[in-house]
Amino acid sequence: MVGGRYSLLGVGIYSPAEAARILRVAGEGLESLTSQKLRRWARGYWHPSGDESRFSSPVIRPELEGACAIEAVSFRDLLELGFIATFRAQGVSMPTIRAAARRGAELFGTDHPFTVKSFRTDGRDIFAELEHDDSLEPGRRRQVLQEAITGQSVFAEFIEPFLKKIEFGPSDARLFHPLGEAHPVVLDPQRSFGRPLIDSAGVGTYALYMASEGGNSAEDIARWYDVAISDVRAALEFEGALKAA
């Protein structure tokens, strides 16, 4: 809060559609991820249940407040949703993911347990500890315990590669490298409201892409924006992947 008003500085802001495209580009197995799924996981949704309608609560606790929270997610929300999408893509059920998120929140003391630095080392143990979660419905316990084993396998094969794209500060996620650590494009909530940019130069990838769409050469664009030609090409690669996602 700044002067009694909620500030978006350092938070990052993305529409569900933008978040879905970024995650489809960044995550293995997330090609079918939709903005509708992200909205449901972030805001909850109503669904028919017999003759009544029931509300399915959000899987995460969104970071944004006020009117912008209805149609936007923050940087940490985006990453949290990326972890959930990865687990779902590998067949881990929502009850198991919710149980893991609840245990992680208790363990790490945060509303975004999948995006803290400790999750890199302790995340696998969260699934192993689900057998001690007394809040699980008795009828779902066996299923959840079986899926906990699946969750540990998914963690090793799919979550760890996703984790490697995240650069952590002292405790929380600081940067996201959607195309990997070696690629210069990052999402940084401290710069340009989290829009994709070239890390070393701080220039938005979309600006470089639009300059190219105007028929300008990579050499000219690099000179105008004072960036390396390789950075221009990396920006075009990323924006092209977003457009195709």
Cα dist. 113→46, 76, 125, 172, 189 in Å? 25, 10, 13, 9, 18
User: 223 and 214 in contact (C-beta within 8 Å)?
Assistant: no
Predicted local distance difference test score (pLDDT) of residue 173:
96
pLDDT at 3: 43
Separation of alpha carbons 174 and 165, rounded Å = 11
Q: What is the pLDDT of residue 156?
A: 83
Task: Report which of 117, 231, 51, 88 is spatially closest to residue 98, judged by C-alpha positions.
Answer: 88
d(CA 59, CA 44): 7
Q: Which amino acid is at 27?
A: G
Residue 164: its pLDDT value, please? 93
Question: Three-state DSSP class for 78?
Answer: helix
State whether residue 180 is helix, strand or coil. Answer: coil
Give, for 4, the enclosing helix (H) or strand (E): none
What was the pLDDT predicted at 2? 43
Quote the pLDDT of residue 67. 53
Residue with tokens 């245990």: 103
Per-residue pLDDT of the chain (245 residues; tens, 9 = 90+): 444 445 667 889 999 999 999 999 998 889 999 999 999 999 998 888 788 888 989 999 999 876 566 689 999 999 999 999 999 998 888 888 998 899 899 999 999 999 999 999 898 888 877 766 666 565 555 566 667 777 788 888 889 899 999 999 999 999 999 999 999 999 999 999 999 999 999 999 999 999 999 999 999 999 999 999 999 999 999 999 999 99
DSSP alpha helices (H): ranges in 109-137?
119-128
Cβ-contact 84, 60 below 8 angstroms = yes
